[in-house]
Amino acid sequence: MKKFIINIILTILFFSYVHAAEEMNEPLHPDWSFEGPLGKFERASLQRGYQVYTEVCAGCHSMDLLSYRNLVEEGGPEFSKDQAKAMAAMFETKGSPNEEGEITMRPAILSDHFVSPWENEQQARAANGGAYPPDLSVIVKAREGGADYIYSLLIGYEDAPSEMSLDDGVYYNIYAKGNKIAMPQPLYEDGVEYTDGTVATPEQMAHDVTMFLTWAAEPKLEARKRIGFKVISYLIILSFLLYFTNRRIWKDTH
Ligand code: HEC
């Protein structure tokens, strides 16, 4: 028994050591409008975030779980149907076979999933020096630190310290695990030209695209918070009513 306990303690010590060795910088924590019990996405930011995703990230990252029609739905970027149709039509996807049995390309429509930049994982790896740019549909939920981590990572590129040698295709990023990542810095000053006139600093673009990715990972966030708030308010009112009813019922029994 004694041996067993000592073993467990040693195992725990070992794992905390391994964990500490991989320690990463604490991510930044910008003010997110979607936090808190009444949190909501900023509509304009979601729309800009979609622009950053399509113009910058979509060259390497797919978002397979999203369809163009999601861009119209309540609680999301809420583009108009015509806007979303035009956005879909900017991409080409495989159509049905023609009379010779050949697949032809056609512009995407609202019911299509976001068009992937790659045919398959092998092609994605081949184009990225062996690294795989993960699908971004639920990346905010899939990474510890969520939105804070993604935001920080996008603006965390710095010159590597002189004593550190980086392989080809590996970049120095103070928020990446081991400070190394196989993604080149994606955001530069004025990397996109925002249609609403917002100045496109790397921080602004990182903020907007992270908000967009957070919505993609949890499209029902606003509805969930709204219902939660109603339920809590209802319970508070009900407790008051029960409290006074109770007092009234027992009023004469003292
Ligand atoms: C030139 C191609 C390229 C572009 C453009 C690009 N990425 Fe990446 N991205 C990659 C690759 C490759 C990886 C895998 C990195 C690795 O495994 O080290 C990656 C990884 C990631 C990760 C996962 C990091 C992790 O912790 O595993 C996130 C999140 C990400 N990219 C977001 C973005 C966003 C948001 C944009 C647009 C602003 C973007 N990327 C633009 C190639 C790209």
Nearest CA owner, ligand 1 atom 19: 133
Residue 19: per-residue pLDDT: 58
Identify the CATH homologous superfamily for domain 29-226: Cytochrome c-like domain (1.10.760.10)
Q: In the chain, where are the structural domains located?
A: 29-226
Q: What's the pTM?
A: 0.88
pLDDT in tens, 84-110: 999 999 999 999 999 999 999 999 999
Task: Say if CB 152 and CB 21 are below 8 A apart.
Answer: no
| pLDDT lower than 70: segments of the chain | 16-23, 254
Alpha-carbon separation of residue 35 from 3, 14, 19, 69, 204 (angstroms):
47, 36, 28, 25, 18
The ligand 1 atom nearest the CA atom of 56: 37
What is the 7 CA–ligand 1 centroid distance (Å)? Answer: 40
* Pocket flag, ligand 1, residue 182 (CB < 6 Å): yes
Which residues have CB under 8 Å from 64's CB, separation 6+? 113, 114, 116, 135, 137
> What is the distance between the alpha carbons of residues 135 and 114, in angstroms, rounded to a whole number?
11
Residue 252: per-residue pLDDT: 87
* Pocket flag, ligand 1, residue 39 (CB < 6 Å): no
